[in-house]
Amino acid sequence: MTYKVFIDGRHGTTGLKIDERLAGRDEIEVLTIPEDQRKDPAVKARFINDADIVFLCLPDAASKESVALLAAGNTRTRFIDASTAHRTNPDWVYGLPELNGGQRERIRSAQKVANPGCHATGFILLMAPLVAAGIVPADYPVSTFSITGYSGGGKEMIADYEARGEQDILRSPRLYALGLTHKHLAEMQALTGLAHKPLFNPIVGNFAQGMVVSVPLIARLLARKVSPADLHALYSEHYAGQTFVKTMPLDATPVLDAGFLPATTCNDTNRAEVFVFGHDEQLLPACRFDNLGKGASGAAIQCMNIMLGLDEARGLAA
């Protein structure tokens, strides 16, 4: 069987990666609007309503406009939205199959799936199991740090780094979203069950892609006493059997780079690696993945596979 797929926003960073990942898949027909008709709403509506799956790789407002083009009574066309527009909308299913035991089935039967944000993916994979297990209280004052490659900033940032990346101002990592109102915060709170938004400190580095999210925890402020081994055991159980989320060895020395945790090791895969560092007083869970893979296009393809009843890992590297 052949499935029709339309990538609305095909020329953006995520759209290009989705298109690339679908290349060569003989069960997928990618519908392409002629270049001179891309901005014609009537033409776009026709393509949307002719597709089995529509990927929305657009700014938030444009994503909402595209969803509104779905014809009344059309229950066949299904959406996967890579924007921030619908991630906390109860009418949309959050596209993180590993979130809990029932999320994969909710994605499978959904007409509308919201693809997770890249920073949010790592944060939720780390925090949701700890809150659900009663280890991290819902009102814990959570802080989180995330370093990402510059591709996470989209075409404008990519062009900036590629044009002047050797200048001193771009050589060092740069903190951003310093107003503490990053657009991923809403889903980071809602999908973990936290009572308050975390204090989120994102950092962009002078490398194209790759990401590490970490969440420092103070043991004495947790709901019960836990050690790094306890957290590792919890993650190991929670993600047991998952294809794309792996709990790494508690002694991570063999997979570190002389004691360092590089952000780029999972590049060009859909893999997310969960680590636990620290000691009995301070704990540091961390999650490493490709911001363009499990943090964007890879996650979208994974959800598409689930929604179409295909092998979840088809076309994806673990």
Phi-psi region of 34 (alpha: psi -120 to 50; beta: other; left: phi over 0): beta
User: Which residues fall within 8 angstroms of residue 161, CB to CB, at 6 or more apart?
Assistant: 150, 170, 206, 208
Alpha-helix residue ranges (DSSP H) falling in 200-293: 228-238
Distance separating alpha carbons of residues 125 and 266, to the nearest angstrom: 16
Strand partners, 56: 8, 81
Structure tokens of 267? Answer: 């590049």
Contact 110, 93 (CB under 8 A): yes
Name the DSSP letter for residue 152.
G
| Set 118, 266, 287, 303: catalytic member | 118
- DSSP element (H, E) containing 188: helix 185-190
In degrees, to the nearest 5, what angle opens at C-alpha 251 toward C-alphas 218 and 118?
65
* 118 is a catalytic site residue: yes
Q: Which of 316, 218, 214 is nearest to 273 (CA)?
A: 214
Structure tokens of 105? Answer: 């089935």
Catalytic residues: 118
